[in-house]
Amino acid sequence: MNTSTQHPDSTHHPEPVLLAAFLDGRLSEQQRLEVEAHVDCCPICCDAMSRLPLDPLSARLRDISDDDVDDNSDWSIVTDPGLPRSASPTQNAAPVLPAELHDHPRYRVLEPLGRGGMGVVYKAQHRMMDRIVALKVIDSRLIDNPQMIDRFRNEVKAAALLNHANIVRAYDAEQAGSLHFLVMEYVDGISLAELIQRKGPLPAEQALGVVRKVAHGLQHAYQHGMVHRDIKPQNIMVTRTGKVRILDFGLARFAREREHSAATTDADPDSILQRTAESLTLVGSILGTPDYIAPEQVMDAHQADTRADIYSLGCTGYFLLTGRPPFPDGTAVQKLMAHRDQTPIPVTELRADVSPEITSLIERMMARDPDHRFQTPLEVATAIHDLNTASTSSDAAVKSEAAGDRTDALRLDSASSARPPAPSAAPTPSATRTPSSTVDAVDGPDVFSHIARRQDAVSGRRVQRAATKAVRWTKPIGVTVLTLTMLLVVGLTVHESQTEPEPAPDSTPRNTQTASESLTESPMLPTEVPIRVLMPGEWMNLIPQIDPSRDTVAGVWQNVNGELSVEAAVSARLVLPVAVPAEYDFDIEFTRHDGVHSIALVFAVGDHQATYDIDAWGEHVAGIQNIGGQSIQPSRPNSTMVPSQQLVNGQRYSAEVRVRRDHVQAWLNGQLLTTYHGDGSDLSLIPEWRLPGFTDSLAIGAYESSTTFHRIRVRAVQR
Amino acid sequence: METSLSLLERIRASGDAAGWEQLVELYTPLIRIWIRRYSSSPQEADDVIQDVLAVVVRRLPDFERARPGSFRTWLRTITVNCLRDSWKKQRLRPVVAGGSDFQQVLEQLSDPHSELSRLWNDEHDQHVLQSLLTRLRPTVPDQTWQSFFRVAMTGEAVEAVAADLGITVNSIYIARSRVMAKLRELGRGLID
């Protein structure tokens, strides 16, 4: 080596500040070369540098997604010859290529890659762009009506906005005949589930490296207001070079909601219990067993925020370290209950060579109370980084252990002795069985739908629609509104009668899942599941359902003591978490405390929205607007405008709209004020009340006036 | 005079056409991420992105780096101005979640100390660092890169990496120093 002459006296060492500048690249090139020459042959300065703190740029490097380049952990197992390379081992013959994909104008299918929970994946070539992509053909059970097609497209669109090294790029949602498929980045790798199956538990450092990369990907999504909702080893790919990619952003949510809407199809409480259990089965078959689901998702899927993903990532880390999920035993229902009520066996008890720090990191990710977890994925990544730093600078024992671990990993024979043998609970796909039928075929005419929700309650940065269309009643008979707080059936669901019943879940073929287990026994439901069933025609009070942090469009709204209040602000408005049928009544009671402007009820008719405004435009008019583009401004009046409707501040009013197929009535204090006649197709919202992303929602508004809403309720109209 | 290796200097020196391309490549993905948050339509967003890039290219020769972080502040200011302008001209119909209106968003982005501005700064740095590292990678010998990458980016123990690569600890520190110096040089004006 070049022992340079700039510092011939080996006792003359650069000052720590100079060493720090050297290490962080802050010296001029000439100075840097001088120090470099010294460092090249000085162990003392190397030792000194090992104790230097990171400068801001170096610290930032740790935060950026870092796997565009080989991280050099050993991932050779990923392409081990002789092993099936698909994302899930195909137990059946190769899938038959659907006719729609023969001679597709844009894609030339090269080979099947495997079957995932949601359908078959093919490797394909984009004919024009010569790009290799993966096509995921969505199981036709998941997309069987126009609403679901819309939802699928919207989810893919939202996911396509994500662009991060740790997230599989989604390019487009495509259709060929009746076939729907997702076009996404082709990743030459295997899932973490498969990796552990082949290799057994990972060395701690490697496992944490994977968790950190996934956390970076989740952070990116979080910053875009997106939650994955189904983080698990099956949904995370690793490549031969150690790149880590999260699969199926958007799809998990889509599938879960699809499943529960398909599964809850009866009004009778006993049947609902059974159908809820049934939905577990369905979810189990489509998305795998609930080994990685967060407790709050068990209780209310719509409330899940980024911290639910952190929980699931914690479970995934647990799996990478121990080779088994945190709660490996029991039925799907028992597992769900375990996530809600139990603490798993600490990692360190299953794996003696894992430090208590790592064990507690995983435990903190998996705290049952979301508030006790890391609050953002970035916090997880930073904590892992800090663990590494701590082991680098302070603890020689940890260092040598880590080094040993790595060497061990490099040898990579399954007999490496430092690691515990893979528990038998490693993900062995069990044969899929049809669950014992506890429920008769769905014979009612009703199909549940559920509500459009924003998923960005935490970040609050982007309006994003989870469910893009609320299905409407086509024949409003047997109307039932119910609330379940069990598993995925959440909040307010409104069901719809359809001429064709959903196929009974049991009658659907199940041969398309290979990597997931199914529930094999009659599910056991806990007795404390609160279920409320409203009978047809019954009012539903919406105020308890409202979460201002989630439902606010503009203004400052608060839910206090069963009343909703809003501060004076321009166009303050809030969407109501309810999906409505074609005909319904929407009723509020309110007190305007100050201000001179209008209180509005935003209602929906078909695909159109309009408002019933009271005391509007500073001219004390009331009525429905816009009709044919005309407002109720006296300068641009329409047929529903009623003059002299000044609200007295401090006085309590009731207002109601009654929406019917061919007309809408506006009521004030029990008096019919005015009626719009029409099918709604000429209705529109004035810009002040527009609800971006919620084009079929109900909402309330208060223009520059602090107001209390004492009551907000809806009821489906019974014919 | 030394030849500047900083990307910003090269863009500034290369004249409008080439500068445009480099800027578009470097900044379009980031600006798109920023603007798409407040736009319901990709077309609207694309228009604003064009506006921002046009202003950046036009004004870049006059841009003087006054203090650390000033480029990203400058870029944020231009982006906010373009957003406001498009909004006023009703070419952008902003979509805002979380109970604030668009005016408030713009005000927060105009305040360098707001939470939102900090988020944008972090995103800027993250994006630019990622791009710079990608550009740097082919110019660095493999073992040097491995040393730098594993120690500086994944935070592995220096000793472990040295043992793994079969080189001395000294070489690891030197590799790190070399790549960090190149990174700073390339990113001068953008990331400091």
Each residue's pLDDT expressed in tens, for chain B with a length of 192 residues: 345 668 887 777 776 566 667 778 888 888 987 887 777 777 888 889 989 988 887 887 777 665 666 788 889 999 999 999 998 888 888 776 544 578 888 888 888 887 778 778 877 887 888 888 888 888 899 899 989 988 887 667 788 889 888 999 999 999 999 999 999 988 888 886
pTM of the full structure:
0.42
Backbone angles phi, psi at A272, to 5 degrees: -60, -45
- In a mutational test of the B interface, the residue from A163, A461, A551, A574 whose CB has the highest number of chain B CBs within 10 Å is A461
- Render pLDDT for A208-255 as a digit per residue (tens, 0 to 9): 999 999 999 998 888 777 888 889 998 899 987 778 999 988 776 665
Nearest CB neighbour to A406, from listed B123, B155, B164: B164
Bond preceding residue A559 cis, omega within 30 of 0: no
Q: Which residues of B touch A41 (CB under 8 A)?
A: 170
CA of A406, closest CA in chain B: separation in Å? 8
Counting every residue written for chain B, the total comes to 192
Nearest CB neighbour to B37, from listed A35, A42, A462: A462
C-alpha distances out from residue A134 to A81, A294, A711, Å: 21, 29, 51
Size of interface A-B (CB pairs under 8 A): 166
Q: What is the pLDDT of residue A518?
A: 27
Q: Tell me how crowded residue A21 is: count the other CB atoms within 10 A of its CB.
A: 21
Residue A245: closest CA among A256, A234, A258: A234
- Whether chain A has a CB inside 8 Å of the CB on B152: the answer is yes
Q: Which residue of B has its CA nearest to A35?
A: B174
Both structure tokens of A53 = 């703190």
Q: What is the pLDDT of residue A627?
A: 92
- Contacts of residue A97, Cβ cutoff 8 Å, sequence gap at least 6: A109, A112, A122
- Render pLDDT for A568-589 as a digit per residue (tens, 0 to 9): 888 899 988 777 777 889 999 9
Q: What is the pLDDT of residue A42?
A: 92
- Render pLDDT for A309-329 as a digit per residue (tens, 0 to 9): 999 999 999 999 999 999 988
Q: What is the pLDDT of residue A615?
A: 93
Distance CA A470, CA B111 (A): 39
- Identify the three-state secondary structure at position B75: helix
Backbone angles phi, psi at A591, to 5 degrees: -130, 120
Q: Which residues of B touch A53 (CB under 8 A)?
A: none
Q: Which residues of B touch A402 (CB under 8 A)?
A: 156-157, 160
- Render pLDDT for A607-635 as a digit per residue (tens, 0 to 9): 789 999 999 988 889 999 999 888 898 88
Nearest CB neighbour to B163, from listed A46, A403, A549: A403
CA of A403, closest CA in chain B: separation in Å? 5
Residue pair A673/A688 in contact (Cβ under 8 Å)? The answer is no
What residue ranges of chain A have pLDDT lower than 70?
A: 1-11, 62-95, 116-118, 128-130, 141, 252-289, 299-303, 388-537, 693, 718-719
Interchain contact, B170 vs A388, CB within 8 Å: no
CA of A712, closest CA in chain B: separation in Å? 20
Q: What is the pLDDT of residue A374?
A: 94
Nearest CB neighbour to A462, from listed B97, B119, B160: B97
Q: What is the pLDDT of residue A699?
A: 94
- Identify the three-state secondary structure at position A518: coil
Q: What is the pLDDT of residue A403?
A: 36
Q: What is the pLDDT of residue B175?
A: 96
